[in-house]
A and B are shown apart, each in its own frame.
Chain A
Amino acid sequence: MLINNNGNIVTVGVGDLKIAQSPKVIKTSLGSCVGVVLYDSIQKVGGMLHLMLPNCNDRGGKPAKYADTGIPLLVDLMVNKAKSKKNVLTAKIFGGAKMFSVSSEIFDIGKSNITETQKILERYGIKIIASRLGGTKGHQITLDTETGIVQSRIFGEQSANY
């Protein structure tokens, strides 16, 4: 595939999470998956989780695939590895699209991902300060760890900053 990567770009795949410090940017592409962005404006450190399902339900595998195991892991990385204070962390969430126009439950998972993500972040006391959710098209999101701004691009639409 066409690689547009350089040393300052950190890319996150499905069921994965990464943290990075300024001047790096962190990016991913989302479909029905949800992208959770945590940011510490004091240290200029950001983290991004690309989750695909709301609950682990003892399925095993990568914890970052699920909202209920991935979000705690991202918070843990920000607090214990990046040494961010939990009370300075803010969250922005994106994605959760319904990509296929069929009634199958598995393709309507975006909505459940969004609901579970909001619930878990609330439980952690982390405020969601911006979001761009739902729709039927994919998202490309890019976090600038210098500013905390997330550039969100939806297929067929203008990109917008959050």
Chain B
Amino acid sequence: MQISKEHLKVLDIIVKISMDNASRSFSKTIKHAALIQLVKTDLVDISEITEEMNNDFREMVASILRLEGSLNGKLMFMIPLDGALTLQDFYLQEEPGTAKEFDELTEGTVQEIGNILASAIGNSFAAGLGSMLLPTPPQVLCDFAGSIFAQLIFEESVDNDKILLTETKFKLSNTEIDCYFFLLPDLTTLEDSLNEYEKATNINP
């Protein structure tokens, strides 16, 4: 798997713009500030990145979607199980502590946040590309962080030892809840999309 340094820089800029938009949509939806703590785009070794994830013992809920159109890829929103209950209270505008157990409402909340973040990313890319990028319906997984992440990267890892990954970490303000958003762009469509994006936006890395 290869991507030029120039295109990596362009992708990093697009992702930062996208995550800024995503953060605003996320905050507006839950009526609570979601602060971006980290945005990182890099080619990562599958063993090293999953080793890092396997050191995270927490149980997580994740919403996985595919992005289809001019640029294909996979997106995942992931939050610790206890954090998902707080997120549910924010989303449904309930008093904190109302949601006690993971149920359909929690699952629906995580799905919806995944949709919102995916749409924000899709819109940011589509704005530059001038074409439609649509997220597929989300699939929710409730499992260990390492097991979920391994499934996210599985297909890409079959033929590649390194994958292109963007990682964004949010913190919900006035809470200790961290949540994560991952984007795995498909390199075969990324190259063309970035060329178009460069032309349309005059971004020079």
Q: Please list the residues of chain A having a beta carbon within 8 angstroms of any beta carbon in chain B.
A: 1-5, 11-16, 27-33, 50, 52-53, 59, 61-62, 64-65, 97, 99-100, 106, 137-140, 155
- The chain A residue sitting closest to B141, CB to CB, is A99
Cβ contact within 8 Å between A30 and B150: yes
Chain B residue nearest to A95 (CB atoms) is B147
Contact status A99-B151, CB under 8 Å: yes
Total count of chain B residues near the partner, CB < 8 A:
34
Q: Which of B51, B150, B161 contacts A61 (CB 8 A)?
A: B161
Flag if B59 contacts A155 (CB, 8 Å). Answer: yes
For the complex of A and B, list the 4 residue pairs with the smallest distance between their C-beta atoms, beginning with the closest: A138-B147, A29-B146, A13-B51, A13-B50
Residues from 149 to 177 in B contacting A, C-beta threshold 8 Å: 150-151, 153-155, 157-161
A-B contact count (CB 8 A): 113
* A16: chain B residues within 8 A (beta carbon): 47, 50-51
B54 near A29: Cβ-Cβ < 8 Å: yes
Contact A100 B139 (CB under 8 A): yes
Are A1 and B53 in contact (CB-based, < 8 A)?
Answer: yes
Residue from A3, A12, A137 within 8 A of B143 (CB atoms): A137
- Is the Cβ of B147 less than 8 Å from the Cβ of A53? no
In the assembled complex, how far is the CB of residue A16 from the closest CB belonging to chain B, in whole angstroms? 4
Contact A4 B148, beta carbon cutoff 8 Å:
no
Contacts known (A3-B56, A13-B54, A15-B161); A32 close to B145, Cβ less than 8 A: no
Q: Which residues of B contact A138 (CB under 8 A)?
A: 143-144, 146-148, 150
| Most interface-central of A12, A15, A97 (chain B CB within 10 A) | A15
Inter-subunit contact B160/A61 (CB<8 Å):
yes
A106 with B154, Cβ < 8 A, contacts A99-B147, A155-B147 known: yes
Q: How far is the CA of A108 from the CA of B53 in the complex (A)?
A: 23
B103 CB–A CB distance under 8 Å: no
Q: A2-B58, A15-B46, A15-B47 are in contact. List 14 more A-B contacts (CB 8 A).
A: A1-B55, A4-B57, A12-B51, A29-B144, A32-B154, A52-B154, A61-B161, A62-B161, A65-B157, A106-B158, A138-B148, A139-B147, A140-B144, A140-B146
